[in-house]
Amino acid sequence: MSKKISVVAHREGYNSNFITEDDVVAVQTTQDVSKVIKHAQFLGEQKAGKDFRHVAEIPMVIYEKATLEGWVNDEAKWKEWLNDRDNQVFRSWKGKV
């Protein structure tokens, strides 16, 4: 049976597709995060704000994953994510959160 894909969201580098194939429906989201990395890098090179320190930019696809997996409001999990060495490219201020 053919596979059918409908785009349900399309923003800068972010794509969410609704897919029907055989007896299964699926939602698949992908994001090109290169602009987000550049954005975080750029903010990291600027002088910090007086009262607000920019810490990181979380790609929307990761925020979506957190929403779907039920940890979007879990501050401890976010701290873990922000302090993970693999996610340092999204950090503008590199200290421990």
Partner 1 sequence: MAKVTNSFTTYDATSDREDLANVIYNIDPTATPFMSMIGSKNISNVVFDWQTENLPSPSGTGKLEGFELSRATSTPTTRESNVAQISSRDATVSGSQDASNPAAKRQELSHQMALCAKALKRDMEVALCQNTAKAGGDATTARQTRSFEAWLSTNVSAGSGGANGSASAARTDGTQRSLTEALLKGVLQTMFTNGAEPKVAVCGPVNKGVISGFTGRSQARQMIDAQTVEASVAVYSSDFGDLKIVPSNRSRERSLLLVDPEYAKVAYLRNFTSMDIAKVGDADTKLILSEYGLEVSNEAAHGIVADLST
Which positions touch partner 1 (CB under 8 A)? 1-2, 4, 6, 8-9, 11-14, 16, 18, 20, 23-37, 39, 42-43, 46-65, 67-68, 72-73, 75, 78, 82, 85-89, 93, 97
Rounded Cα distance between 96 and 80, Å, is 10
Q: How many residues does the chain have?
A: 97
Minimum CB separation of residue 80 from partner 1 in Å reads 13
Burial (Cβ within 10 Å: 0-12, 13-18, ≥19) of residue 57: buried
Minimum CB separation of residue 15 from partner 1 in Å reads 10
